[in-house]
């Protein structure tokens, strides 16, 4: 069943609560003071199922003193009922509430002319004309204008059908995104304990799930979930949801906090935004204080202009940075409302573009960056954020910045031009960054080979590439080869001078001719015909090429001699023998026999068993 959250909007005493009660049979005025005074003070909630659609109602107060309560409920609605009393028509809070709806980018709704029983047809028609003129050019331009009476029930069937038609073309909330539940109420219910309510704006919330509270990071367990008064195993985005939480007092969870999955999001106190200043507002100055409303939260904030310090003019939109006095959980795409300090009236609002803006960046670059982020798709945002660090961005950090699950980020990586990198923390790195690292590595290797023509390659630890990127880089860089702990250009070949070429041949011959009774290493180096340092380098080359085999610190054999020894033993497989037998078979003294046997044990050619060995 499709879930749609419907919010009321309109001036005080225009019949919003009466309308919701007439539609649903539920009185949303729950406070004693509300019943005594006959006005709505705080948010009220109701529900209705009609035409295969589950409507959740958020009824808001219309009095100017309670607009902040209205804002706590308006952030989660999908469809607005702009309520206009036919007997009074357009009033101040009609205008302010409608401005708020537009600033929150609510795109679906209709106009409801209430109290149709209290006026004659001529006045009702005049109210209809004024309403049509009022919403002209807005998202409600051309929307149904339905006249109803909450007292007689006139027009209610037509209103329900109009709501169902609009709901049919309203896009549902994303149930695959990480869940977020902004808390709008917290109370203690006898027999259950602490219960919080809110509109689930994204994702799914399960019974027995662990949740994290933002800001603060406290972990809690979900004991139970209710949707529209009934217990469920799981709540979905777009549903009014009540959550029974274990291990916390109701007084510790206040309006404005948000429940999310653990270890995914981070609260912030700095936001880069697109800000629209209403036409009737005063110019918005650099460093101006405001009341900032987002989701169910309200905090004080300061405005920082990003295009110089000139004020933002009424009726215009610009990029600003908002510095919040308290941390909040906000993601790109979240809408907000700004109100003046004195008088406390709505002056504008906008959309969050970045919840972790770079603290130091030249203003032209900041503005260009925000222009790219405005309205950007998930792959574009991922690409931009990841490219801001040559080493990329961890998947966890990127998830916190764009509000997507790690799986969704990995699925979109190719479209974003990013490469997944396995590390202690999985990362996404831009193809362009890998290309730059590859180019730098090639230059470093070319210079290394030029300065060290007799070395096979550069140690991996010396590569000018972050260690966690190196394997990924090598896998995609065909002209760089990795051999054990060395890196080299694929085109690199050892370059010997004439005397070096002769020396390496002379050294190899000395070891080959010696068989199993090898000469001392220093003796071979001395007979090489080149200086000791170059001779040692040439010896290392022979070892790397496996032409020579080092069996101990002091003993090096030619590979052919070791191969012949292996063949000799293979012909005696399964035989047990002692050191004396080995000396007889090979003709070597004990000086060579013991190191050779220990080498064969390590190579699992033989296995020692007391004073004897078994040929495997």
Mind giving me the DSSP string for 231-272? EESEEETTSEEEEEEES--GGGS-TT-EEE-TTT---EEEEE
Average the pLDDT over 384-398 and give the result.
Answer: 89
Question: Percent of the chain having pLDDT more than 90?
Answer: 65
What pLDDT band is residue 134 in, cutting at 50, 70 and 90?
very high
* 222 membership: H or E segment, kind and range: strand 218-227
Residue with the bigger pLDDT between 60 and 260: it is 260
Give the residue-averaged pLDDT of 427-444.
91
With cut-offs at 50, 70 and 90, classify the pLDDT of residue 456: confident
Sheet strands side by side (includes 145-147): 44-50, 53-59, 2-9, 79-85, 108-114, 145-147
Q: What is the average per-residue pLDDT within 121-134?
A: 95
Q: 529 near 503, Cβ under 8 Å?
A: yes
Is a pLDDT exceeding 90 seen at residue 546?
A: no
Q: Using alpha carbons, select from 535, 493, 518, 495 the residue that is nearest to residue 591.
A: 518
The more confident residue out of 353 and 472 is 353
| Mean pLDDT for the chain overall | 90
Best-predicted range by mean pLDDT (200-214, 429-443, 550-564): 200-214
Q: How confident is the model at residue 69 (pLDDT cuts 50, 70, 90)?
A: confident
| Mean predicted confidence (pLDDT) in 34-62 | 84
What pTM was estimated for this model as a whole? 0.79
- pLDDT(342) > 60: yes
48-52, 225-229, 305-309, 325-329 — most confident range: 325-329
Q: How far is CA 230 from CA 7, 227, 240, 279, 315, in A?
A: 21, 5, 11, 45, 45
């Amino acid at each position: 069943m499709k879930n749609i959250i419907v919010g009321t909007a309109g001036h005080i005493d225009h019949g919003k609560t009466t309308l919701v009660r007439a539609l649903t049979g539920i009185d949303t005025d729950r406070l004693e003071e509300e019943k005594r005074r006959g006005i709505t003070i705080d948010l009220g909630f109701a529900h209705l199922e009609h035409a295969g659609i589950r409507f959740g109602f958020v009824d808001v107060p219309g009095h100017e003193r309670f607009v902040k309560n209205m804002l706590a409920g308006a952030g989660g609605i999908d469809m607005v009922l702009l309520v206009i009393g036919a007997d009074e028509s357009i009033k101040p809070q009609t205008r302010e509430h409608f401005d708020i709806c537009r600033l929150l980018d609510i795109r679906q709704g209709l106009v409801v002319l209430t109290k149709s029983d209290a006026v004659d047809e001529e006045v009702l028609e005049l109210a209809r004309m004024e309403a049509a003129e009022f919403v002209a050019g807005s998202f409600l331009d051309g929307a149904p204008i339905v006249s109803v009476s909450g007292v007689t029930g006139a027009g209610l069937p037509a209103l329900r059908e109009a709501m169902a038609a609009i709901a049919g073309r309203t896009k549902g909330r994303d149930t695959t995104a990480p869940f977020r539940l902004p808390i709008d109420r917290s109370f203690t219910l006898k027999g259950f304990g602490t219960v919080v309510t809110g509109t689930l704006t994204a994702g799914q919330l399960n019974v027995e799930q662990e949740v994290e509270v933002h800001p603060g990071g406290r972990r809690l367990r979900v004991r139970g979930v209710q949707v529209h008064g009934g217990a469920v195993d799981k709540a979905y985005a777009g549903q009014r949801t009540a959550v029974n939480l274990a291990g916390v007092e109701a007084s510790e969870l206040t309006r404005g906090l948000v429940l999310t999955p653990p270890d995914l999001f981070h609260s912030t106190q700095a936001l880069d935004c697109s800000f629209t200043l209403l036409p009737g507002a005063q110019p918005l100055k650099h460093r101006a204080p405001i009341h900032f409303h987002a989701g169910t939260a309200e905090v004080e904030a300061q405005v920082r202009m990003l295009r110089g310090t000139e004020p933002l003019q009424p009726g215009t939109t610009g990029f600003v940075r908002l510095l919040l006095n308290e941390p909040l959980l906000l993601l790109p795409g979240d809408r907000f409302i700004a109100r003046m300090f004195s008088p406390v009236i709505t002056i504008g609002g906008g959309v969050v573009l970045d919840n972790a803006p770079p603290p130091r960046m030249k203003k032209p670059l900041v503005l260009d960056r925000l222009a790219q982020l405005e309205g950007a798709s998930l792959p574009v945002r991922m690409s931009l954020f990841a490219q801001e660090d040559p080493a990329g961005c961890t998947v966890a950090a990127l998830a916190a910045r764009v509000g997507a699950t790690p799986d969704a980020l990995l699925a979109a990586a190719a479209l974003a031009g990013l490469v997944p990198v396995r590390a202690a923390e999985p990362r996404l790195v831009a193809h362009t960054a890998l290309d730059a690292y590859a180019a730098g590595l090639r230059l470093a290797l070319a210079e290394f080979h030029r300065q060290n023509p007799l070395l096979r390659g550069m140690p991996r630890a010396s590569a000018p590439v972050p260690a966690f990127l190196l394997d990924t880089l090598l896998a995609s860089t065909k002209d760089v080869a990795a051999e054990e702990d060395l890196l080299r250009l694929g085109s690199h070949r050892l370059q010997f001078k004439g005397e070096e070429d002769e020396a390496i041949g002379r050294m190899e011959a000395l070891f080959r001719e010696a068989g199993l009774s090898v000469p001392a290493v220093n003796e071979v180096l001395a007979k090489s015909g080149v200086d000791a340092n170059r001779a040692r380098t040439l010896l290392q080359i022979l070892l790397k090429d496996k032409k020579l085999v080092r069996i101990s610190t002091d003993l090096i054999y030619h590979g052919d001699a070791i191969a012949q020894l292996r063949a000799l033993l293979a012909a005696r497989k399964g035989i047990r023998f002692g050191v004396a037998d080995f000396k007889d078979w090979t003709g070597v003294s004990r000086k060579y026999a013991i190191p050779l046997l220990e080498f064969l044990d390590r190579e699992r050619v033989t296995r020692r068993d007391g004073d004897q060995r078994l040929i495997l």
